[in-house]
Amino acid sequence: MPLFPNVGGIVIKRNCAIWGIGALGVLLLGVGCFPASAADAGKSAAPIKIAVFNFELEDISPAASLEGATTSTAATMDKVSSAARQVLVQSGRYSLVDVSNANAKPVTEKTLRDCDGCDGCDAAIALQLGAEQSLVGVVRRVTMTDYYVLVQIRDARTGKILDQQAANFAGDGWASGVAALIRHQVLAQ
């Protein structure tokens, strides 16, 4: 059965003409709005100012339990923090706020992940530095080859957790694991 039964050639032609006019109207409306959409697409929102604190190491590996055993160097953790900052900046969604002058005890002692139960002191510190958001990251070493990366982003004004991600990796490429977590989980949202 045809979509429009032929009751008389005039009805089919009139319906086709109405559809044609309607389609033309939609097309013109879309074209009329397109320049505004194209102009808006050229304007991008300003990058979010984020304070990315140095990543902290939580070593629960068997080697860490040996007295005096060093399982990571400051240089390794610096590479991890640099990788996180680089991926965030390259995304264009974030601009970095310098955290090198932050002298609060949890920052200097690298205990933001614990912070004596303050629940978000990183956000308050980030706000003082002029940031809109804060990022605290932890590498949790479980064995000599297995580790977890944990990342938490807070709103600097409210302290509310905006994003929290974790992933398990194997190997000694902590910086690449951090970059992968941020690229594929944090920025994918």
Instruction: Put residue 174 in one of left, alpha, beta given phi > 0 → left and psi -120 to 50 → alpha.
Output: alpha
pLDDT of res. 98: 95
Quote the pLDDT of residue 115.
65
pLDDT in tens, 8-54: 544 444 444 444 444 444 444 444 444 444 444 445 689 999 999 99
What average pLDDT is seen over the chain?
Answer: 79
Q: How distant is the alpha carbon of residue 4 from its chain centre? A: 53
**CA 171 – CA 1 distance, rounded (Å):** 66
Going by pLDDT thresholds of 50, 70 and 90, the confidence category of residue 132 is very high
pTM for this prediction: 0.73
| Tokens at 100, concatenated | 């090198």
Give the pLDDT score at 67. 62
- Count of all residues that appear for the chain in the document: 189
Per-residue confidence band for 116, with pLDDT thresholds at 50, 70 and 90: low
Statement: residue 161 has pLDDT above 60: yes
pLDDT digits (tens, 9 = 90+) for 1-10: 443 344 454 4
Provide the sign of the torsion angle of the four alpha carbons 41, 160, 50, 85, taken in this order.
negative
* Per-residue pLDDT reduced to its tens digit, 49-93: 999 999 999 988 888 777 666 656 788 999 999 999 999 999 999
